[in-house]
Structure 1
């Protein structure tokens, strides 16, 4: 069995004069990332690896989950390919995960994450909100053979407030 945890980056700020890739989290984003990561770390099994987009807002969000789950540096990866908005590159990363990893968390962006959650899960999600968490399980032993899995749960910041 394979389990995929997907986290959309927390709320980012548009107040800074920086390129999209460098946008930081705003105060609400930091607060939501703390809230959701601490809650999720008590509700689900620890991922074997966290892979994050290298965009500042996603990487900062991933660091909160890394801390909450006590993930080591060797099990934390930054991958520019997750800076994807269509979902095609996200699917490539998922399909090429190491089969020794049964639980993986990826941290990235919309519209890709909502699209992938709906392609792979069996429950329609209108929109994965900022700092939204989605868990999908697959009855497969290899990542490259996964198709439709079971959307086990969603945890969104609004659910915890």
Structure 2
């Protein structure tokens, strides 16, 4: 069994010239801290963090990584950076997921709308709960697969959909 946590980046600021370089808004910083703590409180284990290289996605992933580092049970103690997750289409999400190392049992994947919402829906089949995925929303999926290479075709089970409280 493999578990994937699909996470949209936290609320970003519009204070930069390029979309790629947008940083987290103060609300986004609070969202990321809240959601990382929520997963820890729910005793969710994450072995690795995989992220788009856009500033807001990496910043969100960093909040999660730092919170989980305090637990001290990470297989990978750094963020796996995947440039292809920026403005990714559905097929790219599946390709990236299938390349995750099989020593990893559970991974968190950080990216952007609209692709991340489409991916979450395709994996969970819970459209009305997930679409559109709010900033820092987290969808938990369990796949009946021993290898990430089999993720696309594996039977998937919706575990949960969490999102930040409005601030």
CA distance in 2, matches of 1:20, 1:154: 27
Aligned pair count reads 159
**How far apart are 1:123 and its partner, in Å?**
2.1
In the alignment, the residues of structure 2 paired with residue 144 and residue 112 of structure 1 have an alpha-carbon distance, to the nearest angstrom, of 20
Question: SS where residue 113 of structure 1 aligns?
Answer: helix
- For 1:90, the equivalent position in structure 2 comes to 93
* Distance in 2 of aligned mates of 1:97 and 1:32: 26
User: Pairwise CA RMSD of aligned residues?
Assistant: 1.8
Is it true that 1:114 corresponds to 2:102 in the alignment?
no
Of the three residues 142, 148, 160, the one matched with 2:147 is 142
Q: Which residue of 1 aligns with 2:7?
A: 7
What secondary structure sits across from 2:20 in the alignment?
A: helix
Q: Describe the superposition over 1:50-108 as per-residue Cα deviations: whole angstroms up to 9, x where unpaired.
A: 01111010011001100111147644212211113422222110122122211011111
Distance 1:61 1:72 in 2: 19
- Per-residue CA shift, 1:136-161, capped at 9, x if unaligned? 00111121222341110011013x87
Equivalent in the alignment of 1:52: 51
Describe the superposition over 1:10-67 as per-residue Cα deviations: whole angstroms up to 9, x where unpaired: 01111x2321110011111111111111111221432111011110100110011001
| TM-score of the two chains, using structure 1 as the length reference | 0.90
In the alignment, structure 1 segments of 5+ residues that lack a partner are none
What stretches of structure 2 of length at least 5 have no aligned partner?
A: none
Distance in structure 1 (CA, Å) of the matches to 2:79 and 2:131: 29
- Matched residue, 1:40: 39
